Chain A
Amino acid sequence: QKEVEQDPGPLSVPEGAIVSLNCTYSNSAFQYFMWYRQYSRKGPELLMYTYSSGNKEDGRFTAQVDKSSKYISLFIRDSQPSDSATYLCAMSAGSQGGSEKLVFGKGMKLTVNP
């Protein structure tokens, strides 16, 4: 079983749709959970990070972590064409999210159509 699994898609939605992106993981030591957005041949851009279980909201983006199910989600409300990108989940088992390596999912390619 891979450490972090993410459906690579691709996913295509109409503008204004609610998008749900998900990752599952097997390592119960993961404590920090991050979502990055990546454009082709560019560096991952941090969207959100969360610690342990719960929800975190930032504008149109909501990150959810369910440690009991080893499942994390990113929701995008009122999706825009500018949200079209590849979305990567990443996780760390460190005492802080910045202090140990990140383990990434493969990334989900999202297209939002006008």
Chain B
Amino acid sequence: EPEVTQTPSHQVTQMGQEVILRCVPISNHLYFYWYRQILGQKVEFLVSFYNNEISEKSEIFDDQFSVERPDGSNFTLKIRSTKLEDSAMYFCARGVADTQYFGPGTRLTVL
């Protein structure tokens, strides 16, 4: 059983459109993360979320990105105006004690 689930598994969008990626933790935890992986490249940190607030964000996480936990359960990543270079796999992860568990990812394709 996955530690977290992510929806959708694949999202295709036009450049300039807004997308919302969702992460549903199986159980309640304090630490959540979004990472992305451009095809053929390393997994990169985007943002961390602790106790319902952003605790750290990377240079990649500019004003086009936002995160929310709107209902105390689902954890969303919003990209306001997508660019071609936003095409990547996006992973949600939860922090548990000494490690992190990743979801299956959402593949975002921007045309």
Measured between beta carbons, the chain A residues less than 8 angstroms from B56 are 100-101
Contact with B along A64-92 (1 / 0, CB 8 A): 00000000000000000000000010101
Question: Assuming the A-B contacts A44-B43, A104-B43, A106-B41, are A99 and B103 also in contact, with contact meaning beta carbons closer than 8 angstroms in the complex?
Answer: no
Q: How far is the CB of B94 from chain A (nearest CB, A)?
A: 8
Is B97's CB under 8 angstroms from A98's CB? Answer: yes
**Chain B residues with a Cβ closer than 8 Å to the other chain, count:** 28
Measured between beta carbons, the chain A residues less than 8 angstroms from B31 are 98-99
Q: Which of B42, B58, B98 contacts A49, CB < 8 Å?
A: B98
How many Å lie between the Cα of A104 and that of B42 in the bound state?
7
Measured between beta carbons, the chain A residues less than 8 angstroms from B93 are 102
Q: For the complex, would chain B's binding face be called helix, strand, loop or mixed by DSSP majority?
A: strand
Is B97's CB under 8 angstroms from A97's CB? Answer: yes
Contact with A along B73-108 (1 / 0, CB 8 A): 000000000000000010101111111111111010
Give the interface centre of B42, B48, B50, B97 by most chain A CB atoms within 10 Å. Answer: B42
Give the interface centre of A43, A49, A88, A98 by most chain B CB atoms within 10 Å. Answer: A43
How many Å lie between the Cα of A88 and that of B41 in the bound state?
11
Q: A residues engaging B (CB < 8 A)?
A: 32, 34, 36, 41-46, 49, 51, 88, 90, 92, 96-107
The 19 sampled A-B contact pairs (Cβ below 8 Å) are: A36-B102, A42-B104, A43-B103, A43-B104, A88-B42, A88-B43, A96-B98, A97-B98, A98-B96, A98-B99, A98-B100, A99-B31, A101-B45, A101-B56, A101-B58, A102-B45, A104-B43, A104-B44, A106-B41
